[in-house]
Structure 1
Amino acid sequence: MTLADLPQESTVRDPLESVARQLLVEIGEDPDRSGLEDTPRRFARWWREFSNYQAGRVETHFPLRTDGQIVMISDITVWSLCEHHLLPFSCVLTIAYKPADHVLGLSKFARIAHRHAHRLQVQERLVRDIAEDIAKVTETDDVAVIGRGEHLCMTMRGIRTPALMTCSVFEGVFREYGPPREELIKIAFPGN
């Protein structure tokens, strides 16, 4: 009997499932033990869900004259993955803009934020990318984004201390210290 005569087990596997199986082996686990046998499949499905996120339409505008109003959306929470350690971080966002002659649909802010969060990221770039996208779709340079994030790469490893990192982008009327920026800070950091 030769190798060709033996029944061949299918070795065609989802590449992400193979990565998960190898990871389990490398950390001393048995990927075939009860409780882990479906983990590679779930791992692969999650990574695809995360990285293939479709935000949907983000350009929905409504004509509205706001007479200099500032529109702020706060407490948008997104999850992303630190590109340095592949560990999650959560980021709570406050977004503000001064509309011109139309306003952006409310859900579009969260869609834009999630679109940028669903990839390997660093918080500073996440906040910058969201600000640039908001400016583009609202057609105004008067945009600000503040992000406060907890990074599990700091909380779970290394120093093992929870902390919040805050970063911001201030453009247009928000760039200089004054009433628009002060109003935004009061909303983003209540009680301070």
Structure 2
Amino acid sequence: MTPDTAEVDLDAAEAAAAALLVALGQDLGSAHVADTPRRMVAAYAELLTVEPFDFTTFPNSEGYDELVLVEDIPVRSVCEHHMLPFVGVAHVGYLPADRVLGLSKLARVVDFYSHRPQTQERLTQQVAEHLQTHLSPRGAGVVVEAEHTCMTLRGVRAMGSRTVTSALLGRLRTDAASRAEFLGLTRDRRTR
């Protein structure tokens, strides 16, 4: 998977960061803040750089047909409305068909879509749709739980609040038993 991203101009970003901080009344002459524009740009560049990866699948030679679920995949993204981080975990699963996925690829798909300005709802849907499109399982499901600093550090300042989103496709959406199993496993994990 290769991201569609524009070229990054770190020098222009650093100049813009310096201008933003000065406009917000920050003293860049202070020894503690003088290098902040560079550090700020480096932090955002890291948060917004999408790394390519190979979406490795294997034949489902054993005919495995039960749910595959990886829990607690770290999510680090940036809210596209405020450019503030949101962090949490994703629980990603699928019902295999003809192919199975290398387990680390579930985490890589989450990472791939989270390294961009994003909404949690879109991120959740993108991960599920990616699995459905590129793996063709009988069903795919994603639950993301995250804390949004745009809501906890500013505005309403709802410290400790967490947003939970889900996307269910194929049999995980249409088959009540499969849906209940997936959501039950992710819900059980949240109550442990």
Q: How does 1:160-175 map to 2 (within 5 A)?
A: 160-162=157-159, 163-175=161-173
Residue number in structure 2 paired with 1:96 = 93
Give the root-mean-square deviation of aligned CA atoms.
1.8
For residues 10-89 of structure 1, the aligned pairs below 5 Å read 14-57=11-54, 59-64=55-60, 65-89=62-86
Instruction: State the Cα deviation string for residues 3-38 of structure 1 (Å, max 9, x = none).
Output: xxxxxxxxxx81111121112212222113101122
Which consecutive aligned stretches of 4+ in structure 1 deviate over 4 angstroms post-superposition? none
Contact 1:116–1:129, Cα closer than 8 Å, also in 2: yes
- Relative to structure 1, is the Cα distance of residues 31 and 122 closer, same or farther in structure 2, using a 3 angstrom cutoff? same
Report how many residues are paired: 179
The partner residue of 2:129 within 127, 132, 141 is 132
Structure 1 counterpart of 2:21, which letter?
Answer: L
Task: Measure how far apart 1:141 and its partner are.
Answer: 4.7
**Aligned residue among 96, 118, 121 for 1:121:** 118
Q: Which amino acid aligns with 1:63?
A: P
- Within 1, Cα distance between the matches of 2:128 and 2:120? 12
Gaps of 5+ in 1: 1-12
Secondary structure, in 3 states, of the residue corresponding to 1:56? coil
Q: CA deviation at 1:70?
A: 1.1
Task: Assess if the C-alpha contact under 8 Å between 1:145 and 1:170 holds in 2.
Answer: yes
Query: Which protein has the larger Cα radius of gyration, Structure 1 or Structure 2?
Result: 1
Residues 75 and 89, structure 2, Cα contact 8 Å, conserved in 1: yes
Cα shift readout 1:40-92 (whole Å, capped 9, x = no counterpart): 111222222222221421x2112233342111111111111111111111131
Q: Distance in 2 between matches of 1:173 and 1:187?
A: 16
Separation in 2 of the partners of 1:157 and 1:95? 30
Partner Cα separation in structure 1 for residue 33 and residue 40 of structure 2 = 11
Letter in 1 for 2:57: H
Compute the TM-score of the two structures, normalised by the length of structure 1: 0.86
Residue 178 of structure 1, aligned match among 176, 180, 183? 176
Q: State the match for 1:7 in structure 2.
A: none
Does residue 152 (structure 1) correspond to residue 144 (structure 2)? The answer is no
Unaligned 5+ runs, structure 2? 1-9
Provide the rounded CA distance (Å) in 2 between the counterparts of 1:77 and 1:138.
22
Match of 2:4 in 1: none
